A and B are shown apart, each in its own frame.
Chain A
Amino acid sequence: MRDTLEIFGRLKKNKMAMTGFVIIALLILVAILAPLFSPHDPIEQHLNLRLLSSSWQYPLGTDDLGRCIMSRLIYGTRVSLQVGIIVVGITAISGTLLGLVAGYSGGIVDEVIMRIVDVFLAFPGLILALVIAGFLGPGLFNVMLALSVVGWTKYARVVRGCVLSVKEKAFVEAARALGGGNFYIMFRHVLPEALPSVIVLATLGMGGVILSAAALSFLGLGAQPPMPEWGSMLNSGRTFLQVAPRLTIFPGLAIMITVLAFNFSGDGLRDAFDIRQVKKLEI
């Protein structure tokens, strides 16, 4: 408990990370309370009010179908965070479990799992996701599936590395000498050592996943109209780049701020967890 406080104390001093966390908290709030914040229905079309610039009624103007950009951005937060949380959840849990099993059992199991990881890593992640999503057909669900299939490998690798070093420690042998079973040792002694790395990876991963999902949506493979999604908003605004740059600037900004917030938080967490780095600074 005191250690948690210590880590939190280090985190609090890191302004970038704290800014990131505040932005993430705001985004979550916005996503949950989207109907409250948004001035209009995000998919309601007003063809007589197309491509308006900002006004009191439409703070960020309207798009080519007369929909309120502000409302679409706000509802888009829901979609992006949902995709991020689901994909990171699936990849982090499955990757951690596979890495744990691979590192702990060693031998042929380890060999098989890690060679599969190597195969996945041999392809550039986004391209592989593109192929999978293209193969399964467009849709947000398929994009999540594709990103999950691609994303678990880094968790597996990091956790396996952690397990390999923890496995040899004397306290694991002591636990075994006192009658601890494999499951007990894996989850009670080995997993806690790997957890900080997983948390850092997952936070950084959120940004990556949101960006990839937006990219796939931009390419037309993800969210389908009229769903308000940042990537697809960018895509539909592309045609009006010269007459109404708002249509692309605001979704772009939303993506950028969100991804940066997650990256700053992830970096901050990594620094807070890494005791060696802190010691170095204190000397």
Chain B
Amino acid sequence: MDLLRISDLRVDFPAEAGLVRVLDGVGLEIKKGKSLCLVGESGCGKTIVALSIMRLLLENAYVSGEIRFNGQDILLLEEAEMRKIRGREIAMIFEQPATCLNPVFTVGDQIAGAVRAHEKCSRKEARKRVIELMEMVGIPSPRRRCDQYPHEFSGGMQQRVMIAIALAFSPSLLIADEPTTSLDVTIQAQIVELLKALIVEFNTSLLLITHDLAIAAELCDSVAVMYAGEIVERGSVKEVFKNPKHPYTGALLGAISSDGFRPIKGSVPEFIRLPRGCRFHPRCSLSQDVCRHVSPKMRNGVRCHLWPEN
């Protein structure tokens, strides 16, 4: 059974010009113990997907569709029930670890808070568990460092702390929203290795949101490519990265290649001025007449007119 199955997720935000649809019919699924990567440029709705799963969108957002977690539709849950799922079942780590840690408490205190929310235990036991967790995420000399404040940690170490907090609950799904974007490249590699080891150890499924395709390839089993609020291509990492079907995926993969940068021309359209037809056609080198008028449907894991049916 799928651990998480999102179908036909639509999110609208009220704006001056009326409702703006930022997610349009997003569907994806993650099996237990598997990992999925959501890739795409900035501003195409990746984080909105994550926040919809956590039910942390602003209150004025209109959400429709289904998000089934363990067969239960999250969108229908009461706030109190949802709170039991957040953290315990689905944990999330964010892009900026520095701002996600409370500056006025020691790191150990903050991990202990998560530990003690999960299981009732004495301060002493909690501290032992904190030190274990810190060791597990590779923070050196945890006994000393757990009494330090977040500002005494480097970015990579802060992200490790966030991971420790998230894993304190042993959640069945971990959502990592650009976990490595704010870190430098060598630290990125370490964090990726750590995540890779931990999701196996904790048997956690992973929803990774990134625009770094190398990290996606390293960490995930399957991939979903997003463009302007839609998923344009889905499939296993190997398949998609080897033979991209959608021109956008191809362009993304080609943007960083051994012979230099080849950026995709233009930028993601604004949600209040989406082009007619295929949303990618103004930037697509292969666009034809049909692309300008008819919106393509998802077929065989790709949303493109040009991909031949079988």
Contacts and interface: CB of A to CB of B under 8 A. Distances in A.
Interface of A: 1, 3, 169-171, 173-181, 188-189, 192-193
Given A177-B54, A178-B165, A179-B83, A188 B92 contact: no
B149 interface: yes
Interface string B95-119: 0100111111100000001100100
Contact of A173 (B56, B105, B149): B56
A11 to B, nearest CB: 18
A171 B162 CA distance: 10
Contacts of B114: 178
Interface residues on B, range: 20 to 34
Interface of B: 54, 56, 83-88, 91-92, 94, 96, 99-105, 113-114, 117, 147, 149, 162, 165-166, 169
B102 A189 contact: yes
Contact of B86 (A169, A171, A179): A179
B96 to A, nearest CB: 6
B99 A177 contact: no
Contacts of A192: 102, 104-105
B102 A179 contact: no
Given A170-B94, A174-B162, A179 B101 contact: no
Contacts of A181: 83
A181 B91 CA distance: 15
Given A177-B54, A178-B92, A179-B117, 13 more contacts: A1-B147, A170-B99, A171-B101, A171-B103, A173-B94, A174-B101, A174-B162, A177-B91, A178-B91, A178-B117, A178-B165, A178-B166, A193-B104
**List of 4 A-B pairs having minimum Cβ-Cβ separation, nearest first:** A179-B87, A170-B99, A178-B87, A174-B100
Contacts of A180: 83, 87, 117
B190 to A, nearest CB: 21
Contact of B87 (A1, A173, A177, A193): A177
A176 B149 CA distance: 21
B159 to A, nearest CB: 12
B117 to A, nearest CB: 7
B87 A171 contact: no
B69 to A, nearest CB: 14
